[in-house]
Structure 1
Amino acid sequence: MASAVEQTDELVREYLIFRGFINTLKHFDADVKADKEKGFRVDKIVDQLQQFVQNYDLGSLRDYWGYLDRRLFSRLEDVYRPTVIKLKTSLFRYYLINSVQTSRLDKAQEFFQKQAAELQNQAEWKDWFTLPFLPNPEVNPAFATYFSRQWADFFLVSLHNFLSVLFQCMPVPTLLNFDAECQKISLLQEENELFRQKLFTMQVEMHRLRKEDEEECAHHKLPAYVSNMDRLGDSELAMIQSQRNASQFSQPRGSSFLSSLLSQSKKGPTRPPQSSGASPTQSGIVLVAKKEPTNNQGTKTKEIPTSTKEGKNVALSEHSVAQRQRRIQDHGKERKELLSKSASQVWEQSSERKAESPGSEVDPAMELHADLMQTKVSDAKAKPEQSFIVLSQEEYGEHHSSIVHCRVDCSGRRVASLDVDGVIKVWSFNPLMQTKASSISKSPLLSLEWATKRDRLLLLGSGVGTVRLYDTEAKKNLCEIGIDENMPRILSLACSPSGISFVCSAAALSLATQLDSTAPVTVEKGLNQVPGKLLLWDTKTMKQQLQFSLEPDPIAINCTAFNHNGNLLVTGAADGIIRLFDMQQHQCAMSWKAHDGEVYSVEFSYDENAVYSIGEDGKFIQWNIHKSGQKVYECFLPSDATGPFVLSGYSGYKQVQAPRGRLFAFDSEGSYMLTCSSAGGIIYKLNNEEKSLESCLALGGHRAPVVTVDWCTAMDCGTCLTASMDGKIKLTTLLAQKS
């Protein structure tokens, strides 16, 4: 740090000279010269303290230590305060020992006269008041240790180490970080150079191995005329084939076999016997290729009484048979890739095309290749393009009962999950899945929310009218506040993006609270309208600021959400009304009837020009917030996406859970939505132009209904969280496909 400070001072001095700030430069040099921190040079600070001790300058020693205490030591945590006190005591004892060793007893007596008021009540100094009056204090058992050279060296080293660690750990301004950045860049450059050398070595080794392989296989190299056969184009193959047909064949090429195979494929999916493991199509093609030269048995090039040119054509035709056989085998491999169509369908297409043009003579193998390529194109057109690629799916199984809430913090590093038994888990999933904190609540918990600032803090709403502030790193409750005894259910918590306040929704008891028991009570839709209140609290002081007005009647607020800057708050209530609050005026800006029944979940759109909601009526609706109550479009979602969620078991066991957590979440651009389902999350694409939802991807992976979801978009790869009634939480990492 000292070197970084020195370099920064030089850069600042150079900048001031460049700008012509001469007066500022003079003041800067004067301040640097009078710097008591010595540019954070630990050796200079220790030398300064030793100089005051050797000069018997007690006043300057006290003032300098007081400056260090105010400037540096006061910023430390309380756990380090005893260490600072011990160092101060040792420093004053070091001053006294030096005074006695140099026979300056007057300075020792002066020390006690000036420090008596401060030291007389401290037990560790009670025996030291006799030090100036002892004839030989260096042999006294109480002081002999302090007169040794080892003690003095130990004290100075301890002081030096303490200041060094302090300067390394203290926060520094951004300007001083350039030294660390330079070191990091230098380290990266060294690593790049090392990797470059490794790559060069690997390339040389690969080149050597390739050269050795070529030398080994040199005597097996094919003749030039055979190698050139692989380069014959389709036109040359067709010319050779026509010449061979004119000179050698008088019968049609395997037409009876191909027609019989086509007829069999139309009758049923019967397969010919296979000995080599090839597909039926491949076996048929190979038989055709092998049958063709049977008409030419016993006939060799030298026995044909034709011209030399015709003999060459026959030789080329024999090589073309082998070449064609290899090409047909390649076509068979391509056929294996076609999973959507069977062999019989491809043969039927081929036979239909032959029936349409009976007069044309077409090579069956080439015709089959065209069919295969056409099938590939049609399958590629029919198969919809995937919007996401599933990179991985992991499971967090530390809960043993149904999940209520599952939320990712603002940084995307940790997840907080809560189950119906009051068990809270805070865990990370990148790079490894690991539980960071765990807590069990004696009272039931109904709501959970991460604090925006200092994202190590959690807000927990209970079923007994209290809100707790939980520190996930210290693993303890910082405070607990009571809301209202008459409204004990804390249904929703939402922290402002600024972090200075949060809203709390409290509600009275109702019959719907029994929906989570094994014997649920049926509540008619829209009749679960219990009283409630919406409160604004200060996060720092944990004191209530105000209570929002809920019109027409005080009603239970089920869900709340802020916009990006905290100026707007949207709420969904048990009476089916969505209310939009102006957080600067702290009043309701607009409200409208949104659902037939309760509103379960609300969120702002990506551009914040609209609000999305899911209600008890099973509808997913987009609302225009610029025109109160104007519906952009609505869609019906499956019942397993909106709840109540039902988990059935043996002997008629049935567990019913009312919606509590977030029922839908958006990706980073607001184009896709994740919802609940009975077997896992489902991702829909929002088609605002067509005003509809398009199902894109089913994540799956669950054996119990998913009750709450979240979509973490803080990292490059989005991670979908789906939590179910069996306590399992799935993390599905997705990679977006750019269209």
Structure 2
Amino acid sequence: MNSVQQVDELVKEYLLFRGFSNTFRAFEQECRNDKDKGFQADKIIEELNSYIASSDINGLLDYWKYLDLRYFSRLDARFFGSVKKFETSLLRNYLVYATQQKRRDKVIEFFDTFGTELNGNPEWSKWFGLPFSKNPATDPSFETFFTKQWLDKFTVSLHNFLNTIFQHMPLPSLLCFNLDRLRRRALQNEIDSLKTELENGDTEIISLKQKVAQCDLAGSRRQSCDNLREKNEKVSNHQYVPRFTLNTSEVNLSSSLSLSRSTTLSGKHETGSDQNGVKTPTDERSMTPISEYDTDELELRNGHAIANPFTVTSQELFLENTSGISVAKFSHQGDLIASCDVDNVIRIWSYTGTSSTLKLSNQNSNILSLEWEARSDKLLLYGTDERLVKVYNKESRSIVHEFQMDDRFPRVNQISCSPVESLFACSGSPRSIDDACIKSVTGSLITWNLKTMTIQDTFRFEASSNSPSSLPLSPIETIKFNHNGQMLVTGDKSGSIRIFDIRTLAPIMKWNISSTSKSGNGVICSSLYSFDENSIYVVEDSGELSQWSVHKPGLAISQSKLQGFPPTIPTTLINFTPTSTKTFRKRATSTSSVRSTKSTRSTSSIPSIVIGTETISHYTPTSRVPMVAFSGDTDYLVCVGGNDGTQGVIYQTSNGDRVQVLESQKQYLTSVDWTNSTGNTILTAAIDGTVRVTKMEPSTSHNVL
């Protein structure tokens, strides 16, 4: 980021050269009011300190909120706790400075304004007594925060945190171009330096050659003198006496050295023998523990063994649900799982065993969608086929609110929560295709506010000539926010991708992937922003993975086929038709052989049906949306795969190659999810009610032949 100022000057120079004076003045004004401070951590901290010095708590919080939306919200979920600690320390620094400056009125004003919000927070319980402490600097509750050491530690930590963020930000093309130019200049300087060293080396080599030539000349002269002397001795003595002799011990030593060298060189390619005559490998691999070359960690591809990108550290099988699972999702912090089965029972449980299982039944309608609130593990939202979106509070163990959709769109297909605000979006569709044809309306997209519990904006997909979209109309299958919650990308069954401005819920970009799809059917089962948000990844129901440019809508960056996805549904599942006539799923009880190592519940209550000699769950997957999940950095995705749909398969998003296969489960998989909050952890859920949680770490070796 050191070249930002230089690029700004280059832009100003270009604007003046082109005669864009108004743009030049506007650009200069923007630079003077730059909230990013040229991505310099020192200046950002100075700005924060200026608000503290002037006791401007509103300005301080507004600037911190800007930093949060601009940078902190893009971080991985595991850093959110650190951001919250920095915010707490910043507010405490504000109170400490106001107290030191005898601004007791500002301290009281702070607690009058934010006391309600901070009340009940154990980190702030003692701070309510700060205005009434006679000498806070010596009070054990506040003494640490009045020391210079605490302030210096906080400032240095925040400075390093900001610098780390700036160093890992994706850069725009102009800045990258300037950095490349600077790198080329540095490389050219290094090349010139090496050339100078090479020239100096050549001069030194010439000098050494001259010295060697002189030594050879002197040696030849001595040899001529020796030959002349020997000739004279022969003539005088009539016999030849050698000038040098080599005794027997020297001959033996030379032979042994030669033999030793020969053995060492040949041992690199052949096998040696020990004293007992047993052959042992002598190459370098024989000294490596065999676990490092475990064949389970390798996959054959084109005749070569390719190392898996992840090493499985642990995997456990859980049985928290008693019937086939329709969808399962990790919580925001990654240590809880919400799993919904076909009996419309949601269970919230921890795969680390840190909390008890919560059971939530919904017997009056079918649950179609499930989503955790994106900023905490407190709220769980789920949508039904009877117009309702219910909000469940895990702490109070109760439904705190029910949102009602339009009666024309009773099926709540998808829910997605904003990563930065108390806001969520959901899609609704008619009960059947016939309803859509009769009412000429195919679906709606609605945003709701979780603070006011009211509707915020609505966008309807109407099948008419004056429709706001010229693309084919179909109910939305996928919804995903971008990192700061300002945009929303959706995908539907007709292959249409739309990007919405969340403030107006108006489509700002739209295109259809069906016309350029190689083998896809246009039905989208996953769409989301790439990690750098320059593109959109789309997975079709037919197994085609594509990447689309955000800056040039409709431009496909890459297209590939996910081998093994979608899996073939077993014939027994396709031919099975439930006999129940109720609108919600109701299952009978029977037995299963699957047993969880974590659950104490008996497996005898797992509902299933016996067809021939096979025992399967009463569930036929109708949507492949839960069968796809991306990693946090969007470099990989996991899908339901394998020959019989019982395995989780990891693919690389850059080329669609299958890079790793997870361990099989006994029954057909119906849902997968991937969290990076607790490392790379994947869950795979099956129709027999089992959930396998696999923890992984990035492998250190790749492309091992």
| Structure-2-length-normalised TM-score | 0.51
State the Cα distance separating 1:448 from its structure 2 match: 0.8
**How far did 1:404 drift?**
1.9
CA distance in 2, matches of 1:622, 1:483: 33
Cα 1:481–1:26 shift into 2, 3 Å: closer
Q: State the Cα deviation string for residues 367-426 of structure 1 (Å, max 9, x = none).
A: xxxxxxxxxxx99x9432331110000122111222222112222222211122111111
User: Secondary structure of the equivalent of 1:657?
Assistant: coil
Partner of 1:563: 482
Question: 1:238 corresponds to which residue?
Answer: 259
What are the Cα deviations for residues 304-330 of structure 1, in whole angstroms up to 9, with x where unaligned? xxxxxxxxxxxxxxxxxxx64377457
Residues in 2 aligned to 1:731 and 1:234: alpha-carbon distance in whole angstroms:
64
Aligned letter for 1:27? K
- Is 1:325 the counterpart of 2:286? The answer is no
Distance in 1 between residues matched to 2:410 and 2:561, nearest whole Å: 33
Q: Which runs of no fewer than 5 residues in structure 1 stay unpaired?
A: 1-7, 36-66, 78-163, 186-231, 243-280, 290-322, 342-377, 514-528
| Change beyond 3 A, Cα 1:328–1:541 | same
Q: Which residue of 2 aligns with 1:583?
A: 502
Query: How far apart are the structure 1 equivalents of 2:528 and 2:328?
Result: 16
The equivalent residue for 1:669 is: 633
Instruction: Note if 1:572 corresponds to 2:491.
Output: yes
Q: Name the structure 2 match of 1:626.
A: 551
User: Where in structure 2 are the equivalents of 1:523-672 lying within 5 Å?
Assistant: 531-550=442-461, 551-552=469-470, 555-595=474-514, 596-638=521-563, 640-641=565-566, 648=573, 650-651=611-612, 655-659=619-623, 661-672=625-636
Q: Does 1:385 align with 2:307?
A: yes
CA–CA separation in structure 2 for the residues paired with 1:13 and 1:168 = 16
Amino acid at match of 1:439: L
Specify the SS of the correspondent of 1:590: strand
Q: Distance in 1 between matches of 2:430 and 2:565?
A: 27
Quick check: which has more Rg, 1 or 2?
1
Instruction: Give the Cα–Cα distance (whole angstroms) in 2 for the partners of residues 575 and 680 of structure 1.
Output: 28
1:530 touches 1:574 (CA, 8 Å); kept in 2? no
Report the number of matched residues. 422
Contact 1:723/1:729 (<8 A) preserved = yes
Q: Which residue does the alignment assign to 2:648?
A: 681
Q: Relative to structure 1, is the Cα distance of residues 180 and 574 closer, same or farther in structure 2, using a 3 angstrom cutoff?
A: same
Letter in 2 for 1:542: M
Match of 2:242 in 1: none
Counterpart position of 1:99: none
The 1:511/1:336 distance shift into structure 2, 3 A limit, reads same
AA paired with 2:639? T
Q: Which amino acid aligns with 2:362?
A: S
- Alignment check: 8 A CA contact 1:645 1:658 kept: no
**TM-aligned CA deviation for residue 555 of structure 1:** 3.0
Residues 129-528 of structure 1 aligned to structure 2 (within 5 Å): 179=144, 238=259, 324-325=275-276, 328=279, 334=286, 382-430=304-352, 432=353, 434-442=355-363, 443-510=365-432
Compared CA separation, residues 335 and 664, structure 1 to 2 (3 A): same
Contact 2:477 2:491 in 1 (8 A): yes
SS of the residue corresponding to residue 416 of structure 2 reads: strand
For 1:499, what is the secondary structure of its paired residue? coil
Structure 1 counterpart of 2:552, one-letter code: K
Instruction: Report how far residue 625 of structure 1 moved.
Output: 1.8
Query: Structure 1 CA distance, aligned partners of 2:569 and 2:422?
Result: 34
State the one-letter code of the partner of 1:397: L
Residue 27 in 1 paired to residue 123 in 2?
no
| Change in 2 beyond 3 A, CA 1:616/1:167 | closer
Measure, in 2, the Cα distance between the counterparts of 1:710 and 1:235: 65
> For each residue in 1:520-577, what CA deviation from the matched residue of structure 2 results, as whole angstroms up to 9, or x when unmatched?
xxxxxxxxx9821111211112211221143346531111111111121111112221
- 1:477 is displaced (CA, Å) by 0.4
For residues 424 and 557 of structure 1, what CA distance do their matches in structure 2 show?
24
**How big is each residue's C-alpha offset from its partner over 1:98-134, in whole Å with a ceiling of 9 and x where there is no partner?**
xxxxxxxxxxxxxxxxxxxxxxxxxxxxxxxxxxxxx
Give the Cα separation in 1 of the matches to 2:94 and 2:447.
50
Q: SS of 2:259's equivalent?
A: helix
Q: In the superposition, relative to structure 1, how do residues 469 and 383 fare at CA in structure 2: closer, same or farther (>3 Å)?
A: same
Higher relative contact order (CA 8 A, sep 6+): 2
Q: Deviations over 1:327-381 (max 9, x none)?
A: 7457699599999x9xxxxxxxxxxxxxxxxxxxxxxxxxxxxxxxxxxxx99x9
Letter in 2 for 1:388: F
Q: CA deviation at 1:461?
A: 0.3
Confirm or deny: 8 A CA contact 2:535 2:549 kept in the other structure. Answer: yes
Which of 644, 656, 668 aligns to 1:693? It is 656
Percent sequence identity over aligned pairs: 25
Asked if structure 2 preserves the Cα contact closer than 8 Å seen for 1:614 and 1:642, the reply is no
| Paired letter, 1:390 | V
| Letter in structure 1 aligned against 2:649 | I
SS at match of 1:424: strand
Q: CA deviation at 1:482?
A: 1.6
Between the aligned partners of 2:304 and 2:388, the Cα distance in structure 1 is: 56
AA in 2 matched with 1:700: E
Aligned match of 1:718: 680
- Which secondary structure state, in structure 1, belongs to the residue aligned with residue 539 of structure 2? strand
Q: Is the 1:413–1:429 Cα contact (8 Å) retained in structure 2?
A: yes
Q: 1:656: Cα distance to partner?
A: 2.4
Contact 1:405 1:661 in 2 (8 A): no
Deviations 1:245-297 (A, max 9, x none): xxxxxxxxxxxxxxxxxxxxxxxxxxxxxxxxxxxx99xx9xxx8xxxxxxxx
> Contact 1:616–1:642 at 8 Å: present in 2 too?
no
Q: CA deviation at 1:613?
A: 1.5
Measure, in 2, the Cα distance between the counterparts of 1:241 and 1:449.
69
Q: Specify whether residues 241 and 666 from structure 1 end up closer, same or farther in structure 2 by C-alpha distance, changes over 3 A only.
A: closer
Give the letter aligned to residue 461 of structure 1: G
Q: Deviations over 1:56-82 (max 9, x none)?
A: xxxxxxxxxxx99x99999878xxxxx
Kindly state the Cα deviation for residue 705 of structure 1 after the two structures are TM-superposed: 2.2
In the alignment, the residues of structure 1 paired with residue 634 and residue 123 of structure 2 have an alpha-carbon distance, to the nearest angstrom, of 47
The verdict on how the C-alpha distance between 1:707 and 1:27 changes in structure 2, with shifts beyond 3 A counting, is same
Q: Deviations over 1:597-632 (max 9, x none)?
A: 422221211111111122233322211122121112
Distance verdict in 2 for CA 1:329–1:71, change over 3 Å: closer
State how far apart, in whole Å, the 2-side matches of 1:444 and 1:673 are.
28
Flag the 1:403–1:29 CA change in 2: closer, same or farther, 3 A: closer
Q: Distance in 2 between matches of 1:637 and 1:532?
A: 29
Give the structure with the higher percent helix: 1
Matched, 1:709 2:672: yes
Confirm or deny: 8 A CA contact 1:643 1:659 kept in the other structure.
Answer: no
> Where do 5+ consecutive residues of structure 2 fail to align?
1-88, 132-136, 151-252, 264-269, 294-299, 462-468, 515-520, 574-609
Q: Structure 1 pair 440/591, CA: closer, same or farther in 2 (3 Å)?
A: same
Is the 1:404–1:660 Cα contact (8 Å) retained in structure 2? no
SS in 2 for 1:416: strand
Give 2:259's aligned amino acid.
A
